[in-house]
Amino acid sequence: MSKKHLNSMLGARRFGKTLGGLSLVLSAGCAVSEMPEENLPEGSMEAAAQGSRPIFTPAGDADQHTLAEAISRAHVVVNLETLGLDNEDDIEVKRVRIDELSLAHTRIQQKFKGLPVFEGEAIVHLDRNGNLSDVTDGFVKRIRRDLSVSPTLTEKQAIRAALARYVCESCLTAAPEVSLLVMRHDGEDHLAYRVKLRRIDSTHDTAMPVLFIDAHSGKEIHRYDNLQTAQGTSLYSGTVTIGTSSSSGKYYPEDLTRKVGTFNYANGTSTVYRVSDTDDLWNGTDQRVVVDAHFGASMVYDYYKTVHGRDGIDGAGGPVAYAAVNGGAGLISSIVRYSTSYNNAFWDGSQMTYGDGDGTTFAPLVSLDIAGHEMAHGVTEFEANLTYENESGALNESWSDVFGALVERYVYGESADTWKIGEDCYTPGTTGDALRYLDNPHNANNNGYTSNDDPDHYSERYTGTEDNGGVHINSGIPNHAFYLLAKGGTHHLSGVRVTGIGADDAGKIWYKALADYMTASTNFAGARQATLSAASALFGASSAQTTSTQTAWCAVGVGECPASGGGGGSGTNLLTNGTFEGSVSPWVLSGTGALYVNNGSYPHSGTGYPYFGNAVSVSGSMYQQITIPAGASPTLTFSLNVTSAESTTTTQYDQLFVELRNTSGTLLKTLATYSNLNKGTAGAYVQKSLSLAGYGGQTVRIQFRTTNDSSAITTFRVDTAEAK
């Protein structure tokens, strides 16, 4: 391959594609010296450069995958400084996927001095002609170069340190797994051992803890539970057809076409038994759990194969836990009747396990949507591998809820129950309830962790440490975004109106986002961007599907609405000087806790912005008076940055109230409350959207009001405000 042709593909363009602050710029010829020509298929680049055909075709062959890897690696190598990396040894290509649209997606693992970096990953996206179209950047920026990667502790010492911090070493049911890596936690870089423990024992303490032990000091850096659970009940499927195999005159629930099999713990916790029948008529009462689990796994397989072209959980016909009775094919395995009265179901990294329930709170946990939910955890593990805590963990749970619902819809058609999880037999004595609700997350009781039960808007999110940082609780926010995208509607809090695109297109967007645009550390803002990228790839950047995707996230308080979409507003910005440039006027400031800076260090745009809470024991406010046209339902949007010296993760000591008041200053409505619990890093703004519906034809004040207590300072910065 000639350098001239390579230069025509990589060097003659300047790419200015920006994502999350990353701008990749490739100057003429700079990629040539970095591209290993011996790794490129002969003639591929020349043919593309001469316009004879695209480089990539759907699925792609081995040469196309090699070429995509080389081009993607070159893009990263010439932008190491921008990406916060030191040298080209800091990257390792994990996988290349060329999708059904002929787009190439190369996942790259970040390394540091030869060791993997926890959650350090990027995806380079190429169009069908090999041009850079996007980058999903999850690299950990500028790791401290003097960090030693020679551990002081041995693996055995790290395991002992982890076990010393676990409540019941004797309860573990498997040997610990340990690996050495580099991680950043709370702003500090560490050489760490990741120690994975496993306790699968039928108690409520069943868990798969992951502990990170400092490889020099032996101190615990961080931990979370990687057992990915769903609680639900048997959704009896009536008379169904299931795939079986035969051996020595007996039949087994082993579908050798789909490569799925169902096995039995027989109410134990360690020994797995085969299930058999002599006449292949699986109609015994005690066989219904087996039938439901087996049918569920088969339908989940069919859904992914038919709708998304995916072969099994891992995309390659697996993973397999147990072999078929004839000693042949390995099977994607479901195991029923785990323990006695066990109120749970879980994916453990290799198989689905289902409890029988206690008969009161739960019946057997083998419903179709829960089977879809559990197997989706597996799909996520083999794709984005979302870390199971905080926002990434809530996305992990949400994507499982979504695909559980879509599997149920695939089999039974769409109904009101489609948008409920575990609805048919959760609390068997109570009809009509469910574990979680995509259509109305507030219907799900979360034991008071948030005031309105499961949140459906980002402003309501749980910020504590329970539930792995709210992985089930906060799943309601992206769940509702998906529901609004599929079905359409107006969000009750934000007032943003979403035009539905149907569950088929919405499901394609969600799947592609997971497979090609999300990484382990993706948060809600990153999921928004991933689904926008997926929608744009599938339907076009200006398509109705992409516009509705953006509007759906805006409706639940994540990101901005499209310029022409969402809400029932006037179309004209009712606020003056919402960018706060040059002065704060016509906004009115009062109190010692409300200030304005014309040339601040942390603007969202421009240079000016107001800020609240510059000291302890202060209060203050800022308002602007507007007239809302009759019949209009505008949305107030603004960018908010919160920094705080408060250390609590549970108590709101300092608060910013967003209020609607009449012209005399009387409170009409508190639109939202933010606090020290919303803290982030200085300058890291989050877009907020609040509905002004119901006040058409009135003149009102939009007011921001703060109170800071006497302990530690919390500062609230506001910028880019609009009401339209």
Interatomic CA distance for residues 350 and 514, integer angstroms: 19
In the annotation, is 46 catalytic? no
From the candidates 121, 374, 383, 397, which is the catalytic residue? Answer: 374
Instruction: Assess whether 374 carries a catalytic annotation.
Output: yes
Q: Do residues 706 and 635 lie in contact, with contact meaning Cβ atoms separated by under 8 Å?
A: no
Strand order in the sheet with 588-590: 588-590, 619-627, 699-707, 655-661, 667-675
Classify burial at 81, counting beta carbons within 10 Å of its beta carbon; exposed 0-12, middle 13-18, buried 19 or more. Answer: exposed
> How far is it, in rounded angstroms, from Cα 586 to Cα 564?
26
Q: What are phi and psi of 146, to 5 degrees?
A: -85, 10
Whether 654 contacts 707, CB under 8 Å = yes
Q: Where are the alpha helices (DSSP H) in 115-190?
A: 155-164
Return the HEC string of 130-149: CCEEEEEEECCCCCCCCCCC
Query: By 3-state DSSP, what share of the chain in percent is helix, strand and coil, each rounded to 5?
Result: 25, 25, 45
Which residues have CB under 8 Å from 151's CB, separation 6+? 158, 180, 191, 193, 215, 216
3-state secondary structure of 172: coil
Catalytic residue from among 105, 125, 472, 491: 472
Buried b (16+ CB within 10 A) or exposed e, 464-485: eeebbbbbbbbbbbbbbbbbbb
CA-closest candidate to residue 516, choices 537, 498, 496: 537
- Cα within 13 Å of Cα(185), Cβ side: 16
Pairwise CA distance, residues 145 & 17, whole Å: 29
635-644 and 132-138: which strand pairing? unpaired
Residues 6+ apart with CB under 8 A from 411: 299, 303, 368
CA dihedral 530, 112, 349, 166 (to 10 degrees): -120
Place of tokens 């499209």: 562
**Would you call the peptide bond into 319 cis, given omega within 30 degrees of 0 as the criterion?**
yes
Which of the residues are catalytic?
A: 374, 472
